[in-house]
A and B are shown apart, each in its own frame.
Chain A
Amino acid sequence: MVFKTEPFILNLGPIHPSTHGVFRMRVVVDGEVITDIEPVFGYLHRGIEKLAENKTYKQIIPLTDRMDYVAAMNNNLAYAITVEKLAGIEVPERAEYIRVIMSELQRIVSHLIGIGSFFNDMGTFFTPFVYMFTGKEKITDLLEMVSGQRLLHNYMRFGGVSGDLPPEFLPALRKFLREMPPEIDMYDRLLKENEIVLARSKNVGILTREMAINASASGPVLRASGVKRDMRKADPYSVYDRFDFDVPVACNGDCYDRYQVRIEEMRQSIRIIEQAAAGIPEGEVINPVPLRFQPPAGEVYGFIEGSKGELGFHIVSDGSARPYRLHVRAPSLINLTALKNMLTGWKVADVMVIFGSIDICLGEVDR
């Protein structure tokens, strides 16, 4: 006897424990198997790009904080680099080193939260998440020391950073650098060989090399699919060409590889910070721009390797104090484009694991 069954539509989100914000997926389910999926964005749209057109260049810096709020420093940095490119501003050596340290600390924060919530999506009862947060708190303390803020730092300025490192920062950073590598090793040791983790994430949600390139994915998602492309190496910005580090690459493109790439990237970030902290020169931290800052007319695209992928700002300037148009290449959004290919054919439970392994931040997807 053949039962007559019919697929039904399941609305995952926008209010759902593991959509990392207000993301919505209309999933067509045949029993437990996903046959189709349609992502629906826009629940967190704040019009940051449009707002930017009515603000002066400096006023936009706090706006960029609010895009990827777990990696605010990186957003600041990408925007500052773009405007510096447009106006041709020189950045002092010390500021460049500070920027690298901040950016890498922020990358570790973002990866810790990404991994923690990935395991939450897999069904652990918050334990990895809380462990990751102990590491994250240490970094947040460091960032608070320099910027006065714990979440939305607003630290980068055109031509440098808003203030010099406080005297207690470098000793605290060295202490952190001693403590963190064993901690990362511990996380990895606790998680990587768990049989259930392997069963849930190995060979699940495969993003092939071709598909990743076609979808213009970037960051850990791209590198887990076997493409060795990291903007810090491919087109070095700031002073990244002075540091010695590796770009971790995995080959399968499944959820487990994305996790492994993130863990390895944290180790590499530690290496970069160690070198930067050792080689940081004395001197000015900002090359001040005039109070009424008017970059020349023109068009510019600046980018950094953000924690989630290539974070780029495209600014069109008409020579006034406000940008004519500002567009953000948000890696979270672009990494999501391959979601349908990755999800089709998997079970309902896999949706969240695959979605979590991409590691998006809704603030950046919707802007």
Chain B
Amino acid sequence: MTETLLITVSARPETSSEFWLHLLLFGLGIIIVLLTSVMLFIWLERRLIGRFQLRPGPNRAGPFGLLQPLADVIKVLTKEDIIPNRADKIIFWVAPVVSLAPVILILAVVPIADSVLLADLNIGVLYVIAISSIVSLGVFMAGWASYNKYSMISAMRSVAQLVSYEMPLILSMAGVVILAGSLSLNDIVKAQSIPFIILQPAGFFVFFIASLAEINRTPFDLLEAESELVAGYNIEYSGMKFATFYLAEYCEAVVFSALAATLFFGGWQGPWLPPIIWLLLKTVLVFSFIVWIRATLPRLRIDQVMNFAWKFLLPLAILNLLITGLSVSLWPEAPLWITGIASLVLLVVYVLFWSKFFKPGGKTVAV
């Protein structure tokens, strides 16, 4: 029923009123579905991490602990809302919203079935890049306005890290755009008769690592590095404002998983099951992989993170773009698998070469 409703709403709007109805219903739908599904994803992450750590994970509230996120929400809502005395009050208030809103906005261009999306922008990928950059602004505002040294360091790190990783992220998406011949995410999905992860392994590799950095996940979770900065930029936040940050963080993880599924795993495409289920399955798959990494790896240091972005990811992304571009422009009638193999060879050779000649270790600074 939901599906028919969605398709009705998303049918090409003829009149102005239909257009507004479409925007309203679909927009509300996205917000409600995302914010509730995030609770499920939080539950999934906690259960998975529990299993990785040889323990059951939350299993008391509700069946399989499914109500645990709900209990957390109730807890966090009843907390006292504290604003530090010397904080910059307005920015302090605005920051959580600034970091949550763009994350939700990204979903506007992610198709959940053929042509079923809030807005089929013909510049979809560009829109995603532009909107996702705003998140770092929210983080910086929070860190700056809190008037706290830890959050200040975190804010500085966020700017350095998020801006650096935007470059490889954009370049890795460009490979997909070249193959699909369109910036619209709907067209990109439709172009994936073979999922782009097979044609663009190097591109996916760069995209995945860069998006880990974008969503502040291990091993790039320097912004909220627990062992050094206690909680990072949201150290002074409590109550609903903290919950908003928490929500933003998980929404971002879910949204980037959905993006990875859309760009590289064929989005809603798949046999037998309805398209939205396929998208959800692929999103859960990518998200679980992120959780796996979080449960496994230690954290990098800030200089290593920057080195990694500029000396490893960026050249790889550029080379991948070069190979893709050349194969498409010089030999357009070539079978697609040649691009895939070229990209895979590039990835393997590059990683081997880099790990042999470059170590991300650091040196001490003379004081």
Contact = CB atoms under 8 A, between A and B. Distances in A.
Interface string B242-279: 00000000000000000000000000000000000000
Interface in B143-196: 149-150, 153
B367 interface: yes
The SS class assigned to the B binding surface is: loop
Interface string A101-130: 000000000000000000111111111001
A83 interface: no
B5 interface: no
Contacts of A197: 298
A202 B364 CA distance: 12
Interface stretch (B105-113, B118-126, B226-234, B317-325): B226-234
A10 B355 CA distance: 35
B228 A124 contact: no
B367 A18 contact: no
A260 interface: no
A349 B303 CA distance: 10
A352 B365 CA distance: 17
Contacts, number: 110
Contacts of A352: 227-228
A309 B52 CA distance: 33
Contact of B298 (A30, A32, A200, A346): A200
A10 B149 contact: yes
A346 B364 contact: yes
A171 to B, nearest CB: 25
Given A10-B149, A130-B55, A197-B298, A347 B362 contact: yes
Given A130-B53, A346-B364, A196 B295 contact: no
B168 to A, nearest CB: 18
A195 interface: yes
Interface stretch (B12-20, B217-225, B326-334): B217-225
B361 A199 contact: yes
A130 B54 contact: yes
Nearest to B303: A347
Given A32-B153, A121-B227, A134-B54, A199 B300 contact: yes
Contacts of A214: none
A354 to B, nearest CB: 11
Max count, chain B CB within 10 A of own CB: residue among A120, A199, A348: A199
B228 A196 contact: no
Nearest to B305: A349
A345 B365 contact: yes
Interface in B47-67: 49, 52-55
Contacts of A36: 367
Contact of A349 (B228, B355, B359): B228
B366 interface: yes
A199 B302 CA distance: 12
Contacts of B298: 119, 122-124, 194, 196-197, 200
20 contacts: A10-B153, A121-B227, A122-B227, A122-B298, A124-B297, A125-B218, A125-B294, A126-B53, A127-B53, A194-B297, A195-B355, A196-B300, A198-B361, A200-B298, A202-B361, A345-B366, A348-B153, A350-B301, A352-B227, A352-B228
Given A16-B230, A197-B298, A347-B301, 8 more contacts: A18-B227, A122-B227, A127-B53, A130-B53, A196-B219, A199-B359, A344-B367, A348-B153
